[in-house]
Structure 1
Amino acid sequence: MKHRRSSALPFSALKMNLWILLTITSLAECRYLKRAAQSCPDLCSCSFPPSGADVVCSRSSLQQFPVDGLDPNTTRLSIQSSNLSSITASHLSAVPLLNNLQLYHSNLTSLPSDLLKDVPHLNMLDLTGNRLVQLPPNVFSHASLHSLVLKNNLIEKADAEWFSGNSSLTWLDLSGNRLTGVPASLLHKLPNLETLDLSDNNLQDLQPDALSNLHRLESLNLAGNKLSSLTTTIFSHNLKLSQLFLQENQLRELPATLLQGLHNLELLLLNQNQLQHFPSGLLDGRKSSFQMALTGNPWVCDEGMEYLWKWLTVHPQNVFFLEEVTCAGPGALKHRQVVSLTDTELGLQKIQN
């Protein structure tokens, strides 16, 4: 007689499975109790990754810094779209491990000079969309900041005294303020800067040596200002520059050697300026991946256009919206695409003869 093999598990296997089940249940319960013990401030949401607490507060009804219930292991704190009107060093002392602080779109009008003294690990501070007008000396000298965003405030004057010498900052965004100038003494304190955004201010000029200490600069945004000219050597110390945004200014002409030495330049935006001609040699030595924007300038299509006309003809793939690079004059050529012109129309044959 054949014996059927029993489908039931041996007792030892059942015992092992039961032990595994109890262990998993116990671990889950411990994790639940641990999370339950971790507090979270009212009007905020919290998560607890292994790296430390992550707290987000995004209620307009929030009017005071959420000290109560704030986990001391918080590493990231984001307060956004609130009515927070003040913040102090005492508030931040509750989160000594903080490395990322975002205070967007609140009602902050000022900052105390000692704000960051108790958060020695802070490396990212974002104050976008507040009502800051003036900042005190040394306000950014108390932490090893790598990224500072002051975008869309009401700041009228940038002060070198904000920073200590030889700052570790690599990213500075001052866009969307009311700056009429940026002192060279401020930028000289930021030798590690890789990204600088000064767009959408009221800058009328740059000091000739303003960028001379920024040897690591890779991206410079000067768009949306009132720059009418640039000095010949303004970028001569920024040899790592790969992105240069100069659109929406009032530039009338460019020095022939403006881009000399910038062999890493990948992107140049010059649209919406007052340029009429390009100086001979300006674009020499550009790499094949180089891209440029030129639309919205009043190009005068005469013999002075020869250099740019030839360059566009040879490198059409390097120009955004090439068909929109058109002549503003003379009258007979108005609205013509620059690349569609002939040497006769530009008056070049007459010169050669």
Structure 2
Amino acid sequence: MNLWLLLTFTALAECRFQKRGAHSCPDLCSCSFPPSGAEVVCSQSSLTHFPINGLSPNTTRLSIQSTNLSSVTATHLTAVPLLNNLQLYHNNLSSLPSDLLKGVPHLNTLDLTGNQLVHLPPNIFSHVSLHSLVLKNNMIETVDAEWFSLNSSLTWLDLSGNRLTGVPSALFLKLPQLKNLDLSDNSLQELQPDALKNMHHLETLNLAGNKLISLKPTTFTHNPKLSQLFLQENQLQDLPATLLHGLQHLELLLLNQNQLQYLPSGFLDDRESSFRVILTGNPWVCDDKIEFLKKWLIVNPQNVILLEEVTCARPEALKHRQVVSLTDSELGLIKSDKFST
């Protein structure tokens, strides 16, 4: 009987110990314990080291944000083998080891926004089946195709706010499932014409805030599902007439704050009623070459955001006039007959 009581008390004590461990929480962090697994948030600036002590092995979501964390290793992450969502944004991370994610095979979301990352080692993202990767607002200068394995499952990639001057086509060849790609606010000077050819599922592409001067006619030929295209705040001087051909699902096109003087004839034809475009902030030259744009604006005013701000930059006599208000004679489209009496 005494042996039975001893075994019972031992089992109860072990159960209580395991329960306390499963519901422990690291210092400087807050924790919740839904049925899906522990969720841990650490957002104290005084945090300087990875909060491994007290971290529940059942943790599925871990957010370390706005701290002074400067290092994270694969050993740290082996403490949370069930992790599927890791947010490490606005910390002081300047480098990451290539084996960082080996111990978290279930990870599908990784956010590294707002750190000081300059270079990432090869294969760093090849150990897990990530669906979402955010590298926004770091100091990354080059992108390496070797970051990923072949046929990556990634559907969302955000590289905005870095220091990229180019992106190798080999990178995108490894991301056939990508639906959302954000390359905005970098220093891209060109986009290789075949860069996006393997991205048949791409729906949103953000190239805003770069230094693009031109685009090739076939740039988006292989992206028939593209619905949102952001090209604003570049240095685009002209666009190919066939650039949007095949983009039957395009719903939003931003071309504002570029150096466009004209749009080629037919450029915006065959758009759905749900299509919206922004054209403001371009130096439109209002002569006979602006005829296509003027007629399209008149026929499709409901498709244009800030229609009244699509105005002439030249000639001086028409400066600040709304393009949609111009007459054919003002554009030189009606020639006077010198033989008339």
Question: TM-score scaled by structure 1?
Answer: 0.89
Q: Is the 8 A contact 2:39 2:62 kept in 1?
A: yes
Q: How far is 1:96 from its partner?
A: 0.3
- Shift of the 35–291 alpha-carbon distance from structure 1 to 2, 3 Å rule, reads farther
Q: Return closer, same or farther for 1:352/1:309 CA change in 2, 3 Å cut-off.
A: farther
Partner SS for 1:176: coil
Q: Which amino acid aligns with 1:73?
A: N
Deviation by residue 1:260-319 (Cα, 9 ceiling, x = unmatched):
000000000000000000000111110000000000000000000000100000111111
In structure 2, how many angstroms separate the alpha carbons of the residues matched to 1:37 and 1:199?
A: 42
Q: Which runs of 5+ in 2 are unaligned?
A: 1-14
User: For the residues of structure 2 that align with 1:34 and 1:115, how far apart are their CA atoms?
Assistant: 29
Residue 49 of structure 1 is aligned with which of 22, 26, 34?
34
Q: Distance in 1 between matches of 2:337 and 2:234?
A: 35
Decide which of 247, 260, 284 is 2:232's aligned counterpart. 247
Q: Which residue of 2 aligns with 1:93?
A: 78
Corresponding position: 1:171 with 2:129: no
Structure 1 residue aligned with 2:194: 209
The answer to whether structure 1 residue 260 and structure 2 residue 239 are counterparts is no
Name 1:141's counterpart in structure 2: 126
Specify the code of the residue in structure 2 equivalent to 1:258.
L
How far the C-alpha of 1:119 sits from its partner, in A, is: 0.4
Residue 113 of structure 1: aligned partner: 98
Q: Could you report, residue by residue, the CA deviation over 1:10-63 in whole angstroms, capped at 9, with x for unpaired residues?
A: xxxxxxxxxxxxxxxxxxxx99x9579610000000000110000000011100
Pair 1:85–1:281, CA change in 2 (3 A) = same
CA distance in structure 1 between the partners assigned to 2:21 and 2:134 by the alignment: 34
Counterpart CA distance in 1 for 2:331 and 2:223 is: 36
Aligned pairs (5 A) from 1:1-353: 38-350=23-335
Identical counterparts, % of pairs = 77
Q: Distance in 1 between matches of 2:302 and 2:330?
A: 23
Offset of residue 147 of structure 1: 0.2
TM-superposed CA distance for 1:146, in Å, is: 0.3
* Partner SS for 1:328: strand
Query: Greater Rg, structure 1 or structure 2?
Result: 1
Question: Residues of 1 paired with 2:22 and 2:253: CA distance?
Answer: 54
For the 8 Å contact 2:22–2:58, the answer to whether it is kept is no
Q: CA deviation at 1:348?
A: 1.0
- 1:139-185 superposed Cα distances (whole Å, 9 cap, x missing partner): 00000100000000000001101011110000000000000000000
Counterpart Cα distance in 2 of 1:333 and 1:254 = 24
Give SS of 2:30's match: strand
Instruction: Judge conservation of contact 2:142–2:166 (CA < 8 Å) in 1.
Output: yes
Query: Normalising by structure 2, what TM-score?
Result: 0.93
Separation in structure 1 between the aligned mates of residue 24 and residue 280 of structure 2, nearest angstrom: 55
2:21 and 2:184 map into 1 onto residues whose CA distance is: 46
Name the counterpart of 1:26: none
2:210 is aligned with what amino acid? Answer: N
Partners of 1:162 and 1:271 lie apart in 2 by 33
Distance 1:117 1:352, change over 3 A: farther
The C-alpha deviation readout for 1:218-249, integer Å capped at 9, x for no partner, is 00000000000000100000000000000000
Query: CA distance change for structure 1 residues 37 and 200 in 2, over 3 Å: closer, same or farther?
Result: closer
| Equivalent residue letter for 1:302 | D
Q: 1:192 to 1:236 in 2, by over 3 A?
A: same
Letter in structure 1 aligned against 2:33:
F
Q: Distance in 2 between matches of 1:34 and 1:284?
A: 64
Distance change (3 Å), C-alpha of 1:251 and 1:188: same
| Residue identity opposite 1:245 in structure 2 | F
Structure 1 residue 347: deviation in Å?
A: 1.0
CA RMSD between the two structures: 1.7
Q: Give 4+ residue runs of structure 1 displaced > 4 Å after superposition.
A: 33-37
Structure 1: gaps of 5 or more residues: 1-29
Q: Distance in 1 between matches of 2:78 and 2:336?
A: 74
